[in-house]
Amino acid sequence: MYSKWIEIEADVVRENVQAILNRLPEDVALMAVVKNNAYGHGLVETAQLLSEQGVTHWAVTWLEEAIALRSAGIQGEILLLAPTADERETQEAIAHRITLCVASNQDVHQLCQTVQAVQTPVQIHFKIETGLSRFGFMQPVELQAAAAQILRHPEIEVTGAFTHMADAGNAAFTQKQFERFMKAVAVLKQAGITPPCLHCANSGVFLRYPHMYLNMVRLGTLLCGQYPDGKYVSDLPLKDPFHYKTRIRSIKKLPAGSFLGYKRTWRLRKPAQVAVLPVGYSDGLGLTVNNRAEGWWDLSKKLLKLLLHHWGISRFQLKVKIRGEWYPVRGKIFMQMALVELPNTLTISPNTEVEVFISKTLAAKDVPRVFVQGDSTELANVHTAEELDVLPTISSERAE
């Protein structure tokens, strides 16, 4: 009996990955991106489910995520999407058979020093910078120098090269990134290195540009039953397996005119029951991404949402689900609690189960993830992050 937990429908996870595998050509492999606790679903458990469905290639951002997978018995290639920080991390990655990302000549120099010291084979992928401005080689001369240095170390095996698309919704820029990537691959081949695995298609690219699949796609968001940011037309039968649950801690009846919460920001317009939930902003409730607006139209929409929320318009209020019905969260969200307004006519008691909306990637990692089995016949709505925007309060980013 948890006070709060996240239910993951195991069958839905299986159905999502099978829908994607069925869409892939036979000569294109799937690399499952399970970074950030598998987008909030639970790193190890999600990887185990995907492994059962035949997935053998994995991607995470940080070394600790990769080691957690390997320690749990996950086999196959585990790729770091970011370079290791220092020689100690590089040695640890090699010891756990993690595939390293090299994104600069500094990375290559450090790697060569490390393998010379440990005399242990290591696999690497080249990261090419084509427009995201994060990690990656940019100039042909850099790639040529890196290739020459790597070829002097037989312990280093180049098993892939990749880039990350910045804006899948912009066809012209995405095509330009793709061309830059292929030119970089050609430079590597001329220098004597032919990476057997090439990947640049994240979830957005996968949905829009089949010619960019190459021989591997790198997907995370779609595997989680959610479309990436932007507008997509797709017949993929995705479902959302994620359900954040809690239980009512207490209930009291209050008269009309009662104020709720800090600063008394909400006043009851009629008599109501007020339920206390043991979930607050420290758990991720009410938090969502707050990146800079993408132009005046996007800024206008953000401001309008804030105004409509402030005015109490129902559609723009944060709500919870109880027995299939939605009820509004009222007043300021506390650090560890929240208040919900319920009608006096509703028969309800403490410990009643409640489903709350919390963005998957912002849900606290210490909340138990409970994987449940069973038939899931009702197709859930697949939303984008923009559509699920409640109140922008912190900054974050969406990737694969």
- Kindly list the catalytic residues: 35, 262
Gap between the Cα atoms of 316 and 390, Å rounded: 7
Pairing of strands 319-322, 353-356: antiparallel
Q: In Å, how far are 118, 197, 199 from 162, measured between CA atoms? A: 26, 8, 5
CB 155 within 8 A of CB 163: no
256 burial via Cβ count (<10 Å: 0-12, 13-18, 19+)? exposed
CA distance 288 to 385: 9
Task: Give the three-state DSSP class for 114.
Answer: helix
CA distance 284 to 294: 24
Secondary structure (3-state) at 4: strand
Please enumerate in sequence order all residues whose Cβ is within 8 A of that of 7, keeping only pairs 6 or more positions apart, or say none: 242, 243, 245, 370, 371, 372
